[in-house]
Amino acid sequence: MISLQNVRKWLDERLDWDDLIAPLREKAVPLHRLSHWYFLGGITLFLFAIQVLTGILLLLYYRPGANEAFESVQYIMTQVQFGWLIRSIHSWSANLMIFCAFAHMFSVLFLKAYRKPRELTWVSGVILLFLVMGFGFSGYLLPWNTLAFFATKVGTDIAGQVPGIGKPIMIFLRGGEEVTGATLTRFFGFHVAVLPGLMTLLVFVHLLLVQRTGISVPPKLEIEWKANPNAKREMKFFPNFLLRELIAWYVALGVLGVLAAIFPWNLGTKADPFSSAPAGIKPEWYFLFMFQTLKLIPAKVWFIDGEVVGVLLFAAIGMLWLLLPFFESDDPSRTKRWITGLTVFALAYVAGMSLYGHLAK
C-alpha cells in the first residue's frame, strides 16, 4: 500500500524534496502584538486562488459577446448545478480580495514594512493592487448588464480624459469609439488572459521577495530586538504560522459561503446600449473615492478641464505612492513621521470619500 511517507521518499529521491522545502522550515514569523496583520497577505492570496478556481469553472459556460454574455451568466445562475454558488463566490471573493489587498497595503504602511530592503516588495505589491483593480474593472463588464455597461462607459470616458494619450487609451480599451460587444470581448481577454498572466508572475515575484527579505517588524521593535536579541520572539512559518493562516482561510471560506448563499450576486438587467444611463450611476466601491473626487472638482480649474486635472492628479498620486519607500529613511530610529501622517490621511480620505460617494445621489 502506498503511504504518504512512501510518496515523500519517492519525491525526495528524485527532486531532493527536503532540500526544496528547507527554506520554508527555516522561515520564521516575528511574534508581537501586531502579528495578526501578517495574515492579510495570505488571505488575499487565498482569495486570488479562489478567483482562479471559480473563474475557470465559470469559463466552462460563459460566452463573451454582446448577444450571449448576459444570457450565459443567466444560464449559469439558473440552470447550471451550483452555478449560482460559483458565480456568487467569484463576485464576492473578488470584492473581498480587493478589500484585503487595500487592508494589506495600509497595514504594510502602518507597520512601516516597506522600508529598506523591502522597497521592491512594496513596488510589486502596489502594482499587484493596480492589477487587482484592473481585474475588478474588466470583470464587472462581463455579465453585460445595464449597470456594468454604463459604469464601463463612464470609466473609459475618464481614462479618455488623460491629455494626449487619453483618447488612444480609451479607443484601445473600448475597441472603438463606443462601448460595444468589441469592448466586452476585449475586457474578457484582459480578464482571463492578460491580467492573470501578469498577476501570477507578479505574485510569484512578490512572494519570492518576501521569502528573500523575510518578514518585517515595526521599527520600534526592530531597535528593541537589535539592542536585546533575547527579547526577540518568533514562530516557525511551517507548520505553526501556516496552520494559523489555514484557520484564517477557512474563516474566509465560511464568510464567502454565507455571503454567496444569503446574498447571491445580482444579475441585473441586460445592457441596452440605446437606452439612457440609469440615474445616479456609480462605479464599484473601490473606484468610488476617485469617482467622487472627480465629481467634486469644478468644471474648470483655472483654464484646464476639472476632470483632466483630477485624472492627472490621481495618476501623479499613484506614481508617488508606488515610489513611497524611496522617501523613507534607512534608519529605523528616524523613520519619516509625515509618511505615517500621509497614510492616516489617505485612509481617512479613501474611506470618507467612498462613504460620501455611496450616500451621494
Residues of this chain that interact with another protein (CB under 8 A) are 74, 77-78, 84-85, 239-240, 243-244, 246-247, 250-251, 253-254, 257-258, 261-267, 269
Q: At 118, which amino acid appears? A: R
Whole-angstrom distance, CA of residue 116 vs CA of residue 108: 13
- As measured in angstroms, the least distance from the Cβ of 73 to another protein is 9
- As measured in angstroms, the least distance from the Cβ of 91 to another protein is 12
Residue with smaller CB distance to another protein, 91 or 335 = 91
- As measured in angstroms, the least distance from the Cβ of 77 to another protein is 4
- As measured in angstroms, the least distance from the Cβ of 87 to another protein is 10
Name the nearest CA neighbour of 156 among 361, 311, 16: 311
Residue with smaller CB distance to another protein, 85 or 209 = 85
Rg (CA), the chain: 23
In the numeric block, which cell numbers belong to residue 326?
524611496
Residue with smaller CB distance to another protein, 61 or 356 = 61
- As measured in angstroms, the least distance from the Cβ of 28 to another protein is 14
Residue with smaller CB distance to another protein, 221 or 252 = 252
Residue with smaller CB distance to another protein, 52 or 267 = 267
- As measured in angstroms, the least distance from the Cβ of 97 to another protein is 19
Residue with smaller CB distance to another protein, 239 or 352 = 239
Half-sphere exposure at residue 197, Cβ-oriented, CA atoms within 13 angstroms: 5
